[in-house]
Amino acid sequence: MNKTQQLSYLGRDWDKAPTRLEKIADLIFDWNIYPRKELDQQVVRAYAKALQSGSIFPPIKVGLFKGQKIVVDGFHRAHSRILLNTAYIECSTLPFQSEAELFAEAVQLNSSHGKTFTDIEVKASIRRLQRYNFNVKDIVSIIHIPASAIRQESTKPITILTLPSGKKLSCAKVNPGEHGVHGLICLKNALIIVSNWAEEQKIPDEPTFRELVARARVALKKVQFNA
C-alpha cells in the first residue's frame, strides 16, 4: 500500500454476509488486527456458562484475506467455545483487500458493542488508523469518538522518538553522540502540528508561517543521506 495514499472507510454490510460453520482451528486470531489489549477471561467464562445453558450467540465476523480466515469480531465468543472444547463456530465472512481495512473494521465493530475500550486502547487505535492514513472524519466513524479527541491525540507533543530500527530516543536523557535528539523531536512535533492543520484545512495565512515554510524547504534541500 502506498503510504501517502489517503484511505477512506466505507464499512461493511455484515447483514448480507454469508454465514457458515467454520472449524475454530482454521481461524486466525491476529493480535495485530484485534484492537483490544487482551481477552477478558471473566467474559469468556460467562459466555461459556451461557452457552451451556442454551444461549445462542450471533455469528462471529471473519475477514477473508490472502487465503486466511481472520477473526475481526468475536474473540470472546470464539474462546468461550474453545473453553468448552467445541470444534466449530458459526461465522459471517466477507473479503478484505488489506490489513488496514481489517483493522479499521475490527475497531469499528469492537468499539460499537461489548466492553468499552480503555484509554490505552483508544489511543493505540487512533495512532494505528493515522499510520494507515485514514482521515479524521473516517476515524470518527470508526472509533465513535469526537473529532476534537482525535486531533488532541494526534497533536500531542512527543517526548520519545522511535526510529525505524526500533531504537528509542528520549528527550529526557541525551546519550553521547545523540545530541540531535532534541532537534529530531522538535521536528517531529512540528510535522504533527502542520499535518493536522493541513487535515483541517486551517493552514495559517501569515507572513511568519510562510517564511518558516520557505526556510524549511531551503534547509531540506541541503539534507543528504549516505547510501
Of 127 and 201, the structure prediction assigns the larger pLDDT to: 127
Q: Shortest CA distance to 9 belongs to which of 114, 116, 125? A: 125
Single out the residue of 190, 195, 156 nearest to residue 182, CA to CA: 190
Task: Quote the mean pLDDT of the chain.
Answer: 81
What pLDDT sits at residue 57? 95
For the stretch 174-190, pLDDT in tens is 555 555 666 666 777 67
Question: Span 12-20, mean pLDDT?
Answer: 91
Q: Residue 58: which of 141, 142, 114, 118 has the closest Cα?
A: 114
Query: Is a pLDDT exceeding 80 seen at residue 83?
Result: yes
Average pLDDT for 148-156: 66
Which pLDDT does position 26 carry in this prediction?
97
Please state the rounded mean pLDDT for residues 189-217: 72
Report which secondary-structure segment, H or E, holds 112.
none
pLDDT at residue 4 is higher than 50:
no
**pLDDT tier, 7 (very low <50, low <70, confident <90, very high otherwise):** low
Q: Under CATH, what is the fold of the domain 1-154? A: 3.90.1530
Whether the predicted pLDDT of 208 surpasses 90: no
Of 46-50, 112-116, 151-155, 164-168, highest mean pLDDT: 46-50
pLDDT tops 70 at residue 78: yes
User: pLDDT higher for 180 or 82?
Assistant: 82
Tell me the pLDDT band of 162, cut-offs 50, 70 and 90. Answer: low
pLDDT attached to residue 3: 41
217 pLDDT band, cuts 50/70/90, is confident
Q: What is the pLDDT of residue 212?
A: 78
Is pLDDT at 2 greater than 50 in this prediction?
no
Residue type, 163: L
The closest alpha carbon to 65, from 111, 33, 89, belongs to 33
Ranges in the chain annotated CATH 3.90.1530.10:
1-154
